[in-house]
Structure 1
Amino acid sequence: MHFNISDIGKSVSNLGKTVAEGASNLGQNVTNIVDHRKQISSEKKELQDLLSSAGDAFPGSDFHPASRKTWMSELGRDRLRINQIVWPGTHDSATNGIGIPVVTRPFAECQTISIYEQLALGARVLDVRVEKERHIAHGILKSYSVDVVLDDVKRFLAETEAEVIILEIRTEFGHEDPPEFDKYLIEQLGEHLIPQDEAVFGKTVAELLPRRVICVWKPQKSPAPAAGSPLWSKGYLRDNWIDTDLPKTKFESNMKHLGEQQPSAARRYFYRVEHTVTPSVENPVVKMVDNEISPFARLFVAQAFANGVADRLQVFSTDFIDEEFVDACVGVSHARVEGKA
């Protein structure tokens, strides 16, 4: 076999260039990750400094319901109006147990407890994503049937008397709508559904009973619920989401967009602030990303008061909901009922 020394030399040279370029790209990627982590840490420190200097007290911040499972009843069904409530919500509510443990779950699980447990803890807004076969979806991952969600909702309603729920169900991005899903929701929740009606916002909880579920259906391509339907269309639950894992950037974006809203008493739609950040390639684990912003939920509420926009607060959602988050929302709701906020 004849070897051309010149060709061998060129091959070795090209291989050397490829290895060098690979090493350079790897080095650049490592640098980018390190720089990004430094930016996250810097933004988190800014929020910590703001918390240290400004505090997280606000009207109702010292209020804790006797039972989070029935906090609306405790505030008074005859006194509590729908547009007075600061609704504790969960983001990607039905992702508990999604994916394969250790392998895919850390990148997709935004709640670790069931829908029923979230409601019993005090959550009153659920963000549920489905796909064509009526299974829960988060990105490309699929989980249990939406029947599990609806059964948990109905169980909670059966155990309480005056707790109102906003149930948002949407088709997950990149998936097809479940066929005739609107009819299915009405069949499953019919007796509980509060029909689409803008007069609802000014009513008390007592005036809505025995109906207790505002179900917002957001399909990708199927027809939206019509006016007067048992289901509500997507325009009745709005937000301004930005994709970032930078905590102060998200905190400030949320405050800016909140300030652009009308006071909740004047609106005829629900406006949601999502106290969450988005995982990135450099920072992909949901729990780790969430830890950068979750400690500052009460600070956000306090700053809303400090900035004169607390009257815009309405739906406040989070990953991995806990008692402190719920109590912050309930506290402001209580202060509003008592005329202190």
Structure 2
Amino acid sequence: MKRPAAGGEDALTALIALVQADLEACNRLIVQRMHSPVALIPQLAAHIVAAGGKRLRPLLTLAAAQLCGYRGDRHVALAACVEFIHTATLLHDDVVDESSLRRGQASANALFGNKPSVLVGDFLFARAFQLMTDDGSLKVLGILSQAAATIAEGEVLQLVTQNDISTTEAQYLAVIEGKTAALFAAATRIGAVVADRPEAEERALDAFGHNLGIAFQLVDDALDYAAEQERLGKTVGDDFREGKITLPVLLAHARGDAAEREFWRRTLEDKEQAPEDLARAQELIERHGALRDTVARAQGYGDAALEALAVFPDGPVRRALAGIVAFCIARAR
């Protein structure tokens, strides 16, 4: 399958237009299920849900169901479930990472504190599982609960490898497969499940989501060293300050000389960072082509995602999903 023309927001706009009614129903359900008589819960949950985001994961569920010819409404609640899982992980991640910004706005933990953020994240996980059980499909429950467990494993693995410059590319890939790709894959796969499509189509959508998720995270990791804060919507250099070992760092470290490797050891392992060290890290990553090669790696996974779509007939939804691949990678350009 050919790559779509490079696209940005136009691809996202096209996908939203195809599932507009379902997305509006999903958003209404999200607001409804965030309600609680404990006032802090909807207040804090509404803050992070309203903080923006493109609803990419629930959009993938809605589009995958449409691609598979589904005519019911189960996919709407399951898309909301996917968004709740994602939002819960964001709340927990910002606490773990001590992040002060989320999509350019103050993070929930910065505004409300760590304890409320963790507990409301737990609430959203519980709401997600209520939506799964309301659906009544053990297969759907198995797919989404496994994704939730895999996300947690990925986050713990990232914590274990943080500040360890000896982390391998295989370990890094395992982190992003867990913390990002697992939910992308589950979000798309359940579109085929609700439509009762053949196993081959389930596998194809799982592969599409998995590869798209890896490409998405690779680009995110590149942007942390390349983009301006206003464009990226988060504090640039967060990964560096937290000592996260990402592919741009691994490539620059492997290609650097002894003095450069000592720089990475001091700043990421020992966490001895001076104000000018972020600029130095960006310069080393640029010098060794680490950003270019990270984005090229993302494009390879994007191409694999496109190939997975080839089992479906051509049409507006397949073309829109292909456009989302270009959208994810175009963020780095």
Q: Provide TM-score, normalisation by structure 1.
A: 0.29
Instruction: Give the TM-score normalised by the residue count of structure 2.
Output: 0.29
Higher normalized strand content (fraction of residues): 1
